[in-house]
Structures are given as structure tokens and as C-alpha cells.
Amino acid sequence: MGALRAVSIGHEASPECVFEEARRFLKRLDPNATVFTFATFTDAREKPSPDPLARIQTGTFEEMAPWLERHNAMGAGVFV
């Protein structure tokens, strides 16, 4: 399961709820950072080669959130 997907008692969380959790995680990871490097790749046992979802991007969470959400919806795991 990708980092942006959240399930609570069998129900998916709203995107804003998941984004708020991601913001808290990043703040705890480094309270002074304003930018992070995010990596995505296919989150499946058997990955295609080359992996069409393999990407690395650097920016603020607010800048990267739409890109991360799109890749996550396509089946990418999201990593910091």
C-alpha cells in the first residue's frame, strides 16, 4: 500500500485527511526542512521493467502533493 493511501476501519480517508497526516510526518522527519525529495515506483510484487512510475522529485509537499497523489492513484508507492 502506498504512503498516501490510508485506510481506517475499512474506509479510505479523504485526501485532505491523508495530506494532513503526511504534513505531520514530514514535520516530525525534519522540523526545519522546507523541501523534501520524494521517490515513487510501482508498488507491486512484480514490477515492470522499465518501471513507468519510477521518478524522483524535490520540492515542498504543497508543490509535490498533486504529483504524488496522481502517481499513488496509478499504483506507485511514495517514499521520502
Confirm whether pTM is higher than 0.85: no
Q: What does the pLDDT read at residue 16?
A: 61
Q: In this predicted model, what pLDDT tens digit does every residue of 9-66 receive, in sequence order?
A: 444 555 565 889 999 999 999 999 999 999 999 999 998 999 999 999 999 999 999 9
Q: CA nearest 75: which of 39, 43, 36, 35?
A: 43
Q: Which contiguous run of DSSP H or E holds residue 20?
A: helix 15-29
Residue 45 has which C-alpha cell?
A: 510484487
With cell 518501471, the residue in question is 51
pLDDT for 4 beyond 90: no
